[in-house]
Amino acid sequence: MYDPLVDKDIGQGANYPSSYWAAQTKNSAGTGAIVADQSTDIVVIGAGYTGLSCAYQLAKRFNRDVTILEAHQTGWGCSGRNAGFVLRGTGRLGLAQLTKRFGLDTAQLFHQEYGAAIEQVKQMIAEGDIACDIQPEGYLKVAHNATIAAELPAQAAFLQRQFGYQAEYLSAAQLKNDYMHNPHAYGAVRFPDCFGVNPLTLAQGYAAMAQQSGAKLYTGSPLLSWQRGTDGSFLLQTPQARLRCKQLVLATNGYTPKCLYPPLNRACLPVLSSIIVTQPLTAEQLEQSGLHHTQLVMDTRALKYYYRKLPDNRILFGGRSAVYGKDAEKAVYPARLLSALKTCFPVLAQLGCEYHWSGWVAVSYDDLPRVCEAEPGLFYAGGYCGSGLSFSTLAGVRLAELTMGIKVPPLPIYQNRLPPFPLPAFRRLGQLAYYQWGRVKDRFL
Ligand SMILES: Cc1cc2nc3c(=O)[nH]c(=O)nc-3n(C[C@H](O)[C@H](O)[C@H](O)COP(=O)(O)OP(=O)(O)OC[C@H]3O[C@@H](n4cnc5c(N)ncnc54)[C@H](O)[C@@H]3O)c2cc1C
């Protein structure tokens, strides 16, 4: 599998991974590679949610001449591979941590922005009439031990009191009664406004909206290199064509190749997240596991597991994977996830796995993303730390606004660039150490 910290370039025109989403989703016809030289106002690199949402805004709202270049297929990166959890938030800091770091006023602004992100996704789905199998609302943050469970009532009360957010505390007994027969679930906080989607259909819907608004989308068209003209414009090189533009948006996130824009690559740690999808559960298995609902679930481990029931009664179950791309397809990783699923739900001991795939999430050094003008005329958004479905959609809006010189909300994540990792060459060693620590913490602490 392509590894952004190892491979020189990202390749060209690969098919979707053999995911459940790719199997479920009618493949929208590829738009084809760019083969003739062109000039355009603005070029967006990457056809994930960030790039597509940005291009849609640029074309529809600001009437700009915009071209999207995607190395492979629409939604080929994280946007077509994720778990489809439309969550409230991004990065790795909750509102309590944001309050500690930036103060309550700023944390409240974050909260509003995260709500706006969910609304933006809903609005795009409605506007584009995107049939992305919405599963109705709720996300359960489930405590994996009694110590963490004891903190949950205060966490829910804090969200209600300081943010007016209707988070709901659920005891272990309520969880068992209403949501799951999981002996490792000690209590939960329920976030009422999150929901599930088919992520690949969503990306394809965004692409259709961007194109219908006048954006040109070229798949199979990697940006190989770029340079500045004497007037500050950008000259872009793809395998078969050159483009000239005044502004450039990098929406390549965790898939950013090593040499494309080194300050961005050095500021992200691409981390593999893996998903398995099981056989459909029988009515008896659904009853016995308590999984008769469509809540999104994630636990509180350092090395988190997340799961949901899909519309055809399969379980999607995800978590950490290999560290290096070359190891991503090894059988040990889906086996580990299936075993973790069965530890959570012993009644599913006979369940088999039918799909497995992985993708690169971009972890930032300070656990927060950035949306910024990195240097004159060059913009990027990234570093969502594995929680980017809703936020990337809004990040596209904010990116488009930045290119137009429009003021965006005064949040720290819009005010500067992603901080580089110190000693970036050792990022993977740091990740391995974190995994060791996480294993110990999750088992014993
Ligand atoms: C397994 C997994 C599960 C996840 N689950 C969730 C979830 O449930 N909820 C959630 O909120 N988040 C989730 N995420 C994270 C979420 O999917 C991402 O944050 C989000 O999709 C990022 O979108 P993006 O457009 O910024 O990047 P991407 O979707 O990764 O798009 C980047 C694109 O850039 C292209 N590209 C890179 N380099 C070039 C180049 N040189 N030329 C042209 N194109 C290039 C790539 O091919 C890629 O298509 C998950 C991620 C993974 C991997």
pLDDT in tens, 271-292: 999 999 999 999 999 999 999 9
Residue to substitute in 86, 120, 252, 316 for testing ligand 1 pocket (most ligand atoms within 8 angstroms of CB): 252
Q: Of all atoms in ligand 1, which is nearest to the CA of residue 384?
A: 19
Answer yes or no: are the C-beta atoms of 25 and 198 closer than 8 Å: yes
Q: Spell out, as residue ranges, where the chain has pLDDT lower than 50.
A: none
| Ligand 1 contact, 90 CB (< 6 A) | no
| Ligand 1 contact, 305 CB (< 6 A) | no
**d(C-alpha 196, C-alpha 212), whole Å:** 26
Which pLDDT belongs to residue 29? 59
Strand partners, 43: 67, 248
Which pLDDT belongs to residue 30? 67
Q: How far is the CA of 370 from the centre of ligand 1 (A)?
A: 15
**d(C-alpha 281, C-alpha 153), whole Å:** 32
Which pLDDT belongs to residue 31? 82
Q: Using one digit for the tens of pLDDT, what is the confidence trace for 126-174?
A: 999 999 999 998 999 999 999 999 999 999 999 999 999 999 999 999 9
| Ligand 1 contact, 49 CB (< 6 A) | yes
Q: Of all atoms in ligand 1, which is nearest to the CA of residue 87?
A: 11
Q: What is the distance between the terminal CA atoms of the chain, rounded to a whole angstrom?
A: 34
Burial 210-243 (b: 16+ CB within 10 A, else e): bbebebbbbbbbbbbebeeeeeeebebebeebeb
Q: How far is the CA of 254 from the centre of ligand 1 (A)?
A: 7
**d(C-alpha 91, C-alpha 364), whole Å:** 8
Query: Could you say which DSSP state residue 9 is in?
Result: S
**d(C-alpha 391, C-alpha 382), whole Å:** 10
Q: Which residues contact 426 (CB under 8 A, 6 or more apart)?
A: none
Q: How far is the CA of 267 from the centre of ligand 1 (A)?
A: 16
Q: How far is the CA of 198 from the centre of ligand 1 (A)?
A: 14
The protein residue whose alpha carbon is closest to atom 31 in ligand 1 is 48
Q: Which residues contact 171 (CB under 8 A, 6 or more apart)?
A: 187
Q: Where are the domains of the chain?
A: 1-133+196-267+366-445
Beta strand 242-250 with 378-382 is: parallel
Which pLDDT belongs to residue 445? 77
Q: Using one digit for the tens of pLDDT, what is the confidence trace for 287-344?
A: 999 999 999 999 999 899 999 999 999 999 999 999 999 999 999 999 999 999 999 9
Pick among 3.50.50.60, 3.40.630.10, 3.10.350.10, 3.30.300.30: CATH of 1-133+196-267+366-445: 3.50.50.60
